[in-house]
Amino acid sequence: MAPQHPILDSHIHLWPASAADANGHAWMNDADFLLSKQHILSDYTTASSSYPPTSVIYVETDRRLQDPSSSSLLTWAAEPIKELQFLRSIVEGAYGAEASNLLQGIVAWAPVNQGPAVFSQWLDVAEKTTGPKTWERVKGFRFLLQAITDKTEFENLVLSDDFISILKSFSQREKRFTFDVGIDQRSGGTWQLETFKKVLERLYDNVPEDKRTVIVMNHMCKPEYTSKSSDSFSRWKSCIQTFASYPHVYMKLSGAFSELSNDASPVDTADPKELATRIQAWTHVVFDAFGPQRVMFGSDWP
């Protein structure tokens, strides 16, 4: 079925067979894990054939990293470099013209936790690795903050002068970038969201409108889909409303199904309308706060 309106899928993940194991991704630590196999654009187009998108945005897949203190950037970030090489091969036609045309944007990994000097070095490495055609499609960066589950460690990073300086630099270069924010109420804690409110306050304080970095919040910040009368819902809602109060912040309507409990009914076999009803209180908050102009659809495939 052809969609009535063009669909841009703002959040998909891909990896070749060579990266589909624990060597490529630390989180693929089980050979029987459903995702521990190749997922490329031809698989995606098959899965989305009922409502085929006109274009997609690739988002980094949290490739395995080595200890940054033990070697050079080219060594400890070898897997993210391989990720960029894989994306370049798609853009330059190794997987066919259809795949190249479909992949219109890239949100790449970046070491925003390592200070401005390392980040600047990474930009040079990334540009050289991707080449001009693929570099043109790099629209932003992501570093998964949700993985930092120690509150003090999280605060020490995101509220540091270095981190704020790096994010500010995204919009002050000749080529401007967005920053995708992955924070997680359910697994990380509501405090991750509440801390990021302080980040935005510092990021935009005394910065002219035309120099403000665009922030893209992922997956509705992975709510606890429990009860809308719960304390966790009210705290999540308050954070979402604060995020939306900044015009340069956007929200991805994505990633909800992986956060749902199987207690009510198995997510994999549930009726889509039932799933939509289960998350409706949260999606209403997102649309009321951001409006449709600042909400992006993302499948979070696979």
For residue 109, the tally of other CB atoms under 10 A from its CB is: 23
Distance (Å, whole) CA 114 – CA 219: 25
Q: Are residues 228 and 256 in the same domain?
A: yes
Is 56 among the domain residues? yes
Q: Are residues 7 and 104 in the same domain?
A: yes
Q: Are residues 155 and 230 in the same domain?
A: yes
Does residue 301 belong to any structural domain of this protein? no
Tokens 């992986």 sit on residue = 258
Q: 111, 126, 141: which is the final residue of a domain? A: 141
186, amino acid identity: R
22-40 pLDDT, tens per residue?
Answer: 999 999 988 768 899 999 9
User: Do 261 and 120 lie in a common domain?
Assistant: no
- CA distance linking residue 193 with residue 224, whole number of Å: 12
For residue 177, give its domain range. Answer: 144-294
Q: Which residue has the tokens 């979070």?
A: 300
Query: What's the mean pLDDT when you consider all of the chain?
Result: 94
Q: Is the pLDDT of residue 1 over 60?
A: no
Give the residue-averaged pLDDT of 270-298.
92
Domains: count for the chain: 2
- Of 230 and 219, which is predicted with more confidence? 219
Domain for residue 223, yes or no? yes
Q: What is the sign, positive or negative, of the torsion defined by CA atoms of 261, 192, 23, 98?
A: positive
CATH number at residue 159: 3.20.20.140
pLDDT digits (tens, 9 = 90+) for 105-141: 999 999 999 999 999 999 999 999 999 999 999 999 9
Per the structure block, which two tokens stand in for 20?
A: 């589909």
Per residue in 73-105, pLDDT (tens digit) is 999 999 999 999 999 999 999 999 999 999 999
Domain final position from 110, 141, 172: 141
On whether both 135 and 150 belong to a single domain, the answer is no
